[in-house]
Each structure stands twice: as C-alpha cells, then as structure tokens.
C-alpha cells in the first residue's frame, strides 16, 4: 500500500478525514446560513432570488459545490466504514451499560445524529435543489431580467406544518452533531491545550447553538409570517 493510502485507511487517518471534511462542512454551513438568512428580508424574495441566481451561475461557486458534495459523501462513507468497524470491535454487547455520566450524549450518538442530518439532506435537496436544477420553479422578473423564483417555492414549502417540523428537528440534530464534532475535530488534529481547550469547547457550543437556531428560525418565521 502506498503511504498515503496506509495513512488514510488507518483508524487515525480516517478520523483525520472526518475532521477535515467536517471542518469544510462547517465552513459551508456558515456560508449557506448567511445566504439563507436573506429569506427573512421583507422584500418579496428579491434579494434571495438574485443571490440564488448568482450562486447557481458562478463557476467558482459551482466548483466549490462539487467539492462540497464530494466532502459530504466522503464524510458519510468514512463514517459508515468507521461505524461498522467500531461495531465489529464489540461483537458481544454489554447487558448493562451505565456510561451516561462518562461522556456526552451527543458524542455517543454521532452516527444517529448524522443519519438524521443525512435524511434531512435528501429531503432538503429534493425540495429545493432538485427543483431548482430540473425545473418546477416559477419565474419572476426583476429589472427586466428573468430569475427563478426559489423564494416562492420555499415559502410554499414552509406553509406545510410537517416540513417545518422536520426542519426544526433536523436542525436540533445538527446542533448536537456540531456540539461534539467541532471540538472533536480539533482534538483529531492534535490541537489540545489547557490554554485554549476551554475556548474551543465554548466556541463549539456557541457555534452549534447559533447554527441550530439560525437555520431553524427560517422555516418557523416563514410559516408564521405568510
């Protein structure tokens, strides 16, 4: 095996992949959230639709988005490999296990939380991204230019109670996932020091809460506003 393959297929190497892709996805989450918060502007969706148009046509963004999908897949596939390996490492389970005080709930359930997020992603992509790419989105005209009216699609989707609930639940899961993942990624990179551990932990939790709330309020506000 080549050294890079051996490195990346070792248990520590796979964790490095998880951490690297995780960090990238965190960046994506930040960018995506700041874009989506434009949905809350009271302009009938103009700015959001223009932003969506820009994102859909900028070659750089398109390249990054391919990278993004790749990293999501890499994150998911690696996690599946690791989860299988981890579960094989204990073929006979404990009859009684009271480990709840020894670690956080989120840290023990990253796979479960990740699965919720993944299912959500499928629903989310089917709802918006698929429609955006393959039709089904009405057009709207600003200053004589035709734009896809994604805003209306979003608005209509978020009028359905169940979709709002699915989104809120998924964002809570994302928050928990990040609350462990953020800190864990740092440790996987060996960044651990008394001097800044508290900061990383605090930042991770603050970030997780902010992301979860930031995303979750979008469907909720739209639901109540329209």
Partner 1 sequence: MKLTLKIWRQKDANDKGRFVTYQVDDVSPDMSFLEMLDVLNESLIHKGEDPVAFDHDCREGICGMCSLFINGKPHGPEQTTTCQLHMRSFKDGDTIVIEPWRAKPFPVVKDLVVDRSAFDRIIQAGGYISVNTGSAQDANNIPIPKDKASEAFDAATCIGCGACVAACKNASAMLFVAAKVSHLALLPQGDPERAIRVSKMVAQMDAEGFGACTNTGACEAECPKGISVKNIARLNREFLRAKFIEEVDKPLEELAEGK
**Contact between 86 and partner 1 per CB under 8 A:** yes
Among candidate residues 172, 210, 174, 33, the one with its CA nearest the CA of residue 202: 210
Angstrom distance (rounded) from CA 5 to CA 8: 5
Angstrom distance (rounded) from CA 214 to CA 225: 17
Give the count of residues interacting with partner 1 (CB under 8 A).
44
Angstrom distance (rounded) from CA 189 to CA 205: 19
Strands (E), the chain: 139-142, 145-148
Angstrom distance (rounded) from CA 32 to CA 48: 12
**Contact between 77 and partner 1 per CB under 8 A:** no
The C-alpha angle with vertex 176 and arms to 168 and 94, in degrees rounded to 5, equals: 120
Cβ neighbours of residue 212 under 8 Å, at least 6 residues apart? 171, 172, 174, 175, 178
Q: Which of 41-49, 62-70, 93-101, 120-128 is the region at the interface with partner 1 (rule: CB under 8 A)?
A: 93-101
**Contact between 97 and partner 1 per CB under 8 A:** yes
- Least separation in angstroms between residue 98's CB and partner 1 is 3
**Contact between 192 and partner 1 per CB under 8 A:** yes
Q: Which of 21-29, 31-39, 185-193, 207-215 is the region at the interface with partner 1 (rule: CB under 8 A)?
A: 185-193
Among candidate residues 100, 211, 15, the one with its CA nearest the CA of residue 203: 211
Interface pick for partner 1 out of 57, 59, 60, 96 (rule CB under 8 A): 96
**Contact between 191 and partner 1 per CB under 8 A:** yes
- Least separation in angstroms between residue 193's CB and partner 1 is 8
Q: By C-beta, is 66 or 96 nearer to partner 1?
A: 96
CA 110, distance to chain mean position in Å, is 13
Interface pick for partner 1 out of 60, 102, 134, 226 (rule CB under 8 A): 102
Interface pick for partner 1 out of 52, 174, 183, 218 (rule CB under 8 A): 183
Q: By C-beta, is 77 or 122 nearer to partner 1?
A: 77
> In the complex, which residues of this chain contact partner 1 (CB under 8 A)?
1, 3, 6-7, 10-16, 82, 85-99, 101-104, 107-108, 110, 180, 183-184, 187-193
């Amino acid at each position: 095996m080549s050294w890079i393959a051996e490195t990346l297929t070792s248990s520590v190497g796979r964790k490095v992949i998880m951490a690297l892709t995780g960090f990238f996805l965190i960046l994506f989450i930040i960018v995506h959230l700041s874009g989506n918060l434009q949905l809350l502007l009271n302009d009938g969706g103009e700015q959001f639709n223009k932003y969506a148009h820009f994102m859909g046509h900028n070659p750089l963004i398109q390249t990054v988005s391919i990278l993004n999908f790749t990293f999501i897949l890499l994150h998911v596939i690696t996690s599946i490999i690791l989860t299988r390996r981890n579960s094989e490492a204990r073929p006979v389970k404990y009859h009684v296990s009271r480990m709840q005080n020894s670690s956080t709930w989120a840290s023990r359930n990253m796979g479960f939380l990740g699965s919720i997020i993944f299912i959500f992603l499928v629903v989310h992509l089917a709802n918006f991204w698929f429609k955006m790419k393959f039709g089904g989105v009405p057009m709207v005209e600003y200053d004589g230019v035709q734009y896809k009216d994604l805003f209306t699609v979003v608005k209509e989707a978020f009028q359905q109670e169940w979709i709002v609930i699915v989104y809120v639940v998924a964002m809570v899961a994302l928050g928990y996932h990040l609350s462990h993942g953020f800190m864990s990624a740092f440790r996987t990179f060996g960044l651990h020091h008394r001097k800044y551990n508290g900061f990383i932990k605090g930042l991770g939790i603050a970030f997780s809460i902010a992301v979860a709330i930031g995303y979750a309020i979008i469907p909720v506000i739209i639901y109540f506003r329209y």
